[in-house]
Amino acid sequence: MDPDQKFIFSIIEKFGKGTRYLDAGCGDGLLLRHLPAGSVGLDINPRALEKARKNAPRAAVVEGDVEGIPFPNDSFSTLIASYILELLPEPEKAVKEFFRVLERDGILIGSVANPNPLWQFRAFGRKISEKEPFRREFKKQEVIDLLSPYFEIIRISPGLSYMVWVFVCRNKK
């Protein structure tokens, strides 16, 4: 597990609740594989989901959009949204969906990019493409404004050398 995943997972271990976990925007399943057996990974990219199925064989992997999550209301006790909101044109839609699929007092754990000049570089020195749509960075108040209509914010703190905001919230239902 890389240091970033380790940090996020330590937050999940501390604040996650129940046994019904959703990793929204699970990508290749590298975090999903560390969640409880029976967790669900959701991603819109079928190629990533092929990898997720291999990396997280104890999890259910579902193709779908975080702006229209294909599960009924109150389906999950904990929802993980790590590095997904900054990739969406309207992250508010996803936050509303997170609220909908989380049970009463359910926990939302996530992270978003914080404005930091180091984001101009990716792993192995590749620069972020100028064409990458909707990639944005959030100031702390923007994170609060995005989440607070639906969630009680338990914790919001910088992580990964101030490159991200990590948040833990409780559903306000």
Cα 156 from chain centroid (whole Å): 14
Model's pTM, two decimal places?
0.89
- Looking up residue 121, the CATH number of its domain turns out to be 3.40.50.150
pLDDT, tens only, 78-130:
999 998 999 999 999 999 999 999 999 999 999 998 876 665 565 434 444 44
Number of domains in the chain: 1
Both tokens of residue 53?
């199925």
pLDDT in tens, 23-60: 999 999 999 999 999 999 999 999 999 999 999 999 99
Domain containing residue 107: 3-171
Place of tokens 């990898």: 51
CA atoms within 13 A on the CB side of 18: 19
Rounded average pLDDT over 157-166: 82
3-state secondary structure of 167: strand
Torsion on CA atoms 61, 34, 151, 155, rounded to nearest 10: -160
